[in-house]
Structure 1
Amino acid sequence: MAEILGRNVKSLVKKGLWKGALIHNSIDPISHSQFVDDTILFGEATEKEVVVIKKLLNDYEIGSGQSMNKEKSMIYFFNTNVRMQSKIKEIMGYPQGNFPLKYLGVQLDPGRQQNKMWEDVINKCQVKASSWKNKWLTQAGRI
């Protein structure tokens, strides 16, 4: 079912109804990220875009019979004035989360230097790869 949600997001972006969030000037805006049963929606901090996102989620809940877990769902803001934050929280009905946020083991923080964030990811991968390498070399030695 989550795949349908992702396709609907892409459709709204294609129609120009959803802009997403501009992460960097050299890449297209990002609208969503999905992994298993986790979904992050990225949007422009405007009332118009929030209404589109809210309608998408309501339609998804009705069509799928599933509902968003309000205890696990949060809204995160960056570069958004307090007045707009209040309006968005009112429309969406979710509480505000605070950075840093961990998603799939990666710490997300708009104020953090990107090279530091990727250092953590690279270190985790190196540790994991090292343990795999040792395991395979040990097993290969037994053959």
Structure 2
Amino acid sequence: MEGLNIAMKDACGKGLFHGINIPKSNTSLSHLFYADDAMFFGECTIGNLKNLARVLRCFHASSGLKVKFFKSKVFGIGVSDRELTSSASLLECDACAFPFTYLGVPVGANMNLIKNWKPIIDHIQVRFSSWKCKYSFYPHASHPCEVGKGKPSTLFLFHI
């Protein structure tokens, strides 16, 4: 993945791929990696999409690691459904909408609503229910959403 990171930085530096600008910052975001997943952020233009596809093909040719476009998704913010569908077909992947779930966490959902925390809390409770010793993760509350007057508290998650 380091090779893909370098290729994306190079493409952005040469103006071949345009990421998104972070408001009130001089920073541009073009990609994020987690394990064997990659997320790309950029302007919704034909040129940007074609250059992203080219970078990914070059990455495949140089590393042998192939992007599974049939498992990939394209999301649009502020673009029409027609543009989104066209972009997805160009990359040979699916067009999707927000909110969606990534690694069990809702992305694009309003996290001030308790209902959007429920799947996360349920997953944590299931994981810890198998422990022989039961620990109370939320002192002074029978449910994590009762902490802080109806809003979820900060959850610290540790992979064990």
Using the size of structure 2 for normalisation, the TM-score is 0.65
Aligned residue identity for 2:99: P
Instruction: Show CA shifts across 1:8-67 (max 9, x none).
Output: 101111112211123x42132210000111110111001111111010111111222221
Kindly, what percent of the aligned residue pairs are identical? 22
Q: 1:123 is aligned with what amino acid?
A: T
User: Is 1:116 aligned to 2:112, yes or no?
Assistant: yes
- Paired with 1:122 and 1:73, the residues of 2 have a C-alpha distance of 33
Aligned-partner Cα distance in 2 for 1:106–1:123: 14
If asked which structure has higher relative contact order (CA below 8 Å, sep 6+), I would say 1
What is the aligned partner in structure 2 of residue 139 from structure 1? Answer: none
- Secondary structure of the 1:8 match is helix
C-alpha RMSD of matched pairs (Å): 2.7
Residue 41 of structure 1 is matched in structure 2 by 40
Give the number of aligned pairs: 122
Residue-by-residue CA offset, 1:54-112 (whole Å, 9 max, x unaligned) = 10111111222221123431111111123322321221111112322233454211xx4
* Contact preservation (8 Å) 1:21, 1:29: yes
Q: Which runs of 5+ in 2 are unaligned?
A: 118-151
Higher helix proportion: 1
Paired position in structure 2 for 1:5 = 4
Give secondary structure in 2 for the equivalent of 1:124.
coil
TM-score normalized by the length of structure 1? 0.71
The whole-number CA distance in structure 2 between the counterparts of 1:26 and 1:16 is: 21
24, 27, 44: which one aligns with 1:26: 24
